[in-house]
Amino acid sequence: MRTLSTILLLAAALSPPKPVWTGPSVTLLGGPSKDGRWLSYVDHGDLALRELASGRTVVITKRANGSKEFAYFSTISPDSRRIAYAWFNKLGFYELRVVDLDGGEPRILYRNEETGFVQPCAWSADGSQILTLLFRKDNISQIVMQPAAGGLPKVLKSLNWIYPKKMDLSPDGRWIAYDSFASENSGERTIYLLAVDGSRERRLISEPGDHLFPVWTPDGNSVVYASGTGVRMLDLADGKSRSIADNLGRVVPLGITQDRTYYYGLRTGGTDVYASEIDMAQGKSGGSPRPVSIRFPGRNSQPSWSPDGQWLAFLSRRGTETFGEETRVLVLRAAKGDGERELAPKLARMDAPHWTPDGKALLVRGTDRLGREGLYRVDTETANAVRVAEPVDANGCSPAKAVLCGTELRVGAERYETTLAKPTELAWAPQRDAIFVGDGSRLVRIPLDHSPVQKVDTPSGFSIHPNGRTIAFTAGSTNSEVWALKIP
Amino acid sequence: MTRAAGFVLLAAAIAQAQVPLGLDAYIPAPENNPLSIEKIALGRKLFFDKRLSRDGSIACASCHDPNLAFSDARPVALGIAGRKGTRRSPRIANRAYGKSFFWDGRAATLEEQVGGPIANPLEMDLPVAEAASRVNLSETELRRALASYVRTILAGDSPYDRFVAGDRTALNAQAQEGLKIFRGKGGCIACHLGPNLTDESFHNTGVGAGDEGRAKWSGRPEDTAAFKTPSLRDVASTPPYMHDGSVATLEDVVEHYNRGGRANPYLDSELHRLQLTDAEKRALVAFLKSLSGTIREGSL
């Protein structure tokens, strides 16, 4: 009997993963129902269900044409009768809603302007509580239990702005598994267990490595999680972890059904930076584009040539994250030879790198480790990042009432010409002596003392070498697929 | 029921107790010192017990007065025989969520911290073991009991907490404007963040020249005169301010930061001139006053 069990376990373990849904409609914002019948997802902004066996889809919500509202993360109740989901509302923030699977009017469970984002993660077995992640305006994320009948959530633990990528509730409702950083100075995540009654917390996985996306098995005996490009399972009884599948790719776990089918999303494809000769006068390419780097293929984007043409800077993804903020580094690639070096500034997010005119730094749009968005200057020698501009309020009015009016910037009674045809972005210089104004592709600095407007070299989708004959650009795309894997 | 199971149940009962609005239900405690009713009660008695000082004249509560939000109205701590300390007595509410203790963060746990003032010659001036024997406890028992009690001193449920929880009427218009400045132009949130309004980190704001601060323990020159960010809970009722008690009012505190702190080689890079208008300063003070709420201690 023991031998048979072992054989069966091995057979289960050896079952290869199978694709269950591919194509352009796939989103990875929901999860499977416990009975394995449904998969929740987002269909053009509406909450929807896909019947896994037949492929039939049911759109649950009904957005008005042109509406800015949309559905986001969702989770189906254990009895497969309700769905909790995040809904981006007219006021510009997410609220937590519940709707019956067979339709009807949704109920708002949690709506708080101070909490800009909500993510329902799991239901308690009795359907009375929803494990939810809140993300507050002050860049604090919180693990809460939201009563499904409504009312104030119980805040179990507050974390900084770097929120868990995944949380799940144990079948007995006593423990929450979530991922967070292994230590304050670590870029690697690991898995923690937090008691739902708030009495205890402990680190579940001590081994080094990037461990994230925990999901409980239906029997509550194990936690399945992603590690690198594979999936592992930790047995809570003996604390031992073993591999379930290796080399899957960029995994986004969606959930486990009662029959122990592990549904997960895969991010496929990728982007790379290419260079090509171009005849600027004729607008013709002068040859086949060539990838500029063979390291980390599929992870590179957003090139920018240095003013002297000696270096090409671009972003390169390093982490295993599959949604939300990605761990990126700046790569400086020598124009001649194979020299490359990396800059890893202490920023949680980086986008749109572009060289400063003196060639000593890169300007990036980003977020620091306190969650503060802005424009950062990254020194190319030290990788030190300094914020040089911060965004104003979303409504375009800073505390000093800076507003854009046509091509004009108005600060109180003062008026400034932006030199841009359609300025859309405002940001204050930290010293409050100037305002940065952008139009999506260009950026200027407007000193408040009315001295001349200064052009700031700006990000764009491609970068032309100073020699005027070489262009660097990003090419490629990413797609999502849903796969299933039987776990032992 | 096993002893271990009993502990788990008790810990669960403690956690089920209502923490003040704005705080986490999970109250961190070391594995070897889980909260218990007995230890909290014992710690509470010890907190007020003057036998823990050499001459029996002061207790922990002498400088952490429950009537002053567990703070002290004096600029610096006053020990036995009128001995003057060099730093202000820190407020100790919500220290359960702390990551290091004392203004310079030299203690890693509350168990370690509680012995500091007892042994400090400028404060209670008694070896901790001797203090413990005076109350018929081991040193470990004394430390664990006091730490357990301190973990139950919880401040929250302020108008700010109610506002953040979704009650848009909890802050008046001026305080709401102050909150915007706190998070935006003032940049206060760079250090005063989270449920306890502190990053639990160390910063040089140009206050208290001559005190090494964090650098004494970290050995890093850049930590010179850097001190731990204090929580802002109940800040309006706990003057004077800063680690040396050198700033008398909230208005003066705001003015200090409006000027960008006091220039020195190790001034924190977050500080710069804010150019707040008078109305903005008043709004910021109004917001700071909204951080006063209720304090719960000693109960489960």
Give the tens place of pLDDT for each residue, A113-155. 999 899 999 999 999 999 999 999 888 999 999 999 999 999 9
A431 with B273: Cβ contact below 8 A? yes
Share of chain B above pLDDT 90, in %: 89
Q: Any chain B CB within 8 A of the CB of A387? A: no
Considering the domain architecture, whether residues A311 and A386 belong to the same structural domain is answered as yes
C-alpha B233/C-alpha B17 separation (Å) is 21
For residue B223, give the nearest of B208, B234, B213, B209 by alpha carbon. Answer: B213
Average pLDDT estimate for A94-118? 94
C-alpha A363/C-alpha A358 separation (Å) is 12
Q: How does pLDDT run across A5-34, given as a tens digit for each residue?
A: 444 455 455 578 999 999 988 999 999 999
The total number of structural domains that make up chain A:
3
Contacts of B189 in chain A (CB under 8 A): 138-139, 370
For residue A342, give the nearest of A365, A314, A374 by alpha carbon. Answer: A314
* Residue B300 domain flag: no
C-alpha B13/C-alpha A486 separation (Å) is 39
CB-nearest to B25 from A198, A430, A431 is: A198
**Residue B198, pLDDT above cutoff 60:** yes
Share of chain A above pLDDT 70, in %: 86
Residues in contact with B198: Cβ distance below 8 Å, sequence separation at least 6, in sequence order = B191, B192, B228, B229, B230, B231, B232
**End-to-end distance of chain B based on CA atoms, in angstroms?**
21
Contacts of B184 in chain A (CB under 8 A): 393, 398-399
Considering the domain architecture, whether residues A384 and A403 belong to the same structural domain is answered as no
| Residue A49 Cα distances to A46, A322, A364, B233, angstroms | 10, 22, 39, 46
Share of chain A above pLDDT 90, in %: 51
Contacts of A112 in chain B (CB under 8 A): 165-166
Considering the domain architecture, whether residues A323 and A384 belong to the same structural domain is answered as yes
Q: Any chain A CB within 8 A of the CB of B287? A: no
Residues in contact with A179: Cβ distance below 8 Å, sequence separation at least 6, in sequence order = A164, A165, A166, A189, A190, A191, A192, A211, A212, A213, A214, A225
Considering the domain architecture, whether residues B180 and B236 belong to the same structural domain is answered as yes
**Residue B45, pLDDT above cutoff 80:** yes
* Residue B24 domain flag: yes
Which residue in the block uniquely carries the two structure tokens 């800040």? B235
* Residue A241 domain flag: no
Considering the domain architecture, whether residues B51 and B144 belong to the same structural domain is answered as yes
| CA-atom Rg of chain A in angstroms | 25
C-alpha A226/C-alpha A264 separation (Å) is 10
Lowest mean pLDDT among A1-10, B64-73, B144-153, B159-168: A1-10
* Residue A261 domain flag: no
A399 with B275: Cβ contact below 8 A? no
* Residue A83 domain flag: yes
Task: Give me the pLDDT at residue B84, please.
Answer: 94
**Cβ under 8 Å to A: B residues 49-108:** none
Average pLDDT estimate for A413-420? 81
Considering the domain architecture, whether residues B34 and B150 belong to the same structural domain is answered as yes
Contacts of A142 in chain B (CB under 8 A): 24
Best of A200, A346, A448 to disrupt the B interface (most B CBs within 10 Å) is A200
Task: Give me the pLDDT at residue B2, please.
Answer: 44
Lowest mean pLDDT among A123-127, A257-261, A295-299, B92-96: A295-299
CB-nearest to A152 from B8, B165, B190 is: B165
Task: Give me the pLDDT at residue A289, please.
Answer: 85
Q: Any chain B CB within 8 A of the CB of A198? A: yes
CATH code: domain of residue B37: 1.10.760.10
pLDDT band at B6 (very low <50, low <70, confident <90, very high): very low
Which residue in the block uniquely carries the two structure tokens 């939000």? B69
More confident residue, B40 or A116: B40
Give the pTM: 0.84
**Residue A50, pLDDT above cutoff 70:** yes
* Residue A215 domain flag: no
Considering the domain architecture, whether residues B82 and B201 belong to the same structural domain is answered as no
Provide the number of CB pairs (under 8 Å) joining chain A to chain B.
Answer: 86
Q: Any chain A CB within 8 A of the CB of B30? A: no
CATH code: domain of residue A183: 2.120.10.30
Structural domain containing residue A357: 270-390+461-479
**Cβ under 8 Å to B: A residues 100-129:** 111-115
Q: Any chain B CB within 8 A of the CB of A384? A: no
Task: Looking at mean pLDDT, say which of A385-394, A418-427, A473-482, B225-234 comes out highest.
Answer: B225-234
The total number of structural domains that make up chain B:
2
How distant is the alpha carbon of residue A210 from its chain centre?
16
Task: Give me the pLDDT at residue A474, please.
Answer: 84
Task: Give me the pLDDT at residue A396, please.
Answer: 37
Considering the domain architecture, whether residues A363 and A410 belong to the same structural domain is answered as no
| Residue A143 Cα distances to A194, A382, A425, B9, angstroms | 10, 36, 33, 22
Structural domain containing residue B78: 3-155
For residue B36, give the nearest of B20, B17, B5, B14 by alpha carbon. Answer: B14
Nearest CA in chain A to B18: A154
Nearest CA in chain A to B178: A399
Q: Any chain B CB within 8 A of the CB of A439? A: no
* Chain B closest-CA separation from residue A113 CA (Å): 7
Task: Give me the pLDDT at residue A70, please.
Answer: 95
Task: Give me the pLDDT at residue A286, please.
Answer: 66
| Own/partner long-range contacts of A309-313 (Cβ < 8 Å, ≥24 apart) | A309/A335, A309/A465, A309/A466, A309/A467, A310/A334, A310/A335, A310/A336, A311/A335, A312/A273, A312/A275, A312/A463, A312/A472, A313/A353, A313/A355, A313/A362
Other CB atoms within 10 A of residue B38 CB: 11
Average pLDDT estimate for A89-95? 93
Q: How does pLDDT run across A439-457, given as a tens digit for each residue?
A: 656 667 788 888 888 776 5
Mean per-residue pLDDT of chain A: 85
**Residue B10, pLDDT above cutoff 90:** no
Nearest CA in chain A to B274: A431
Considering the domain architecture, whether residues B259 and B185 belong to the same structural domain is answered as yes
Please report the sign of the dihedral spanned by the C-alpha atoms of residue A336, residue A342, residue A347, residue A349.
positive
pLDDT band at A279 (very low <50, low <70, confident <90, very high): low
Considering the domain architecture, whether residues A413 and A472 belong to the same structural domain is answered as no
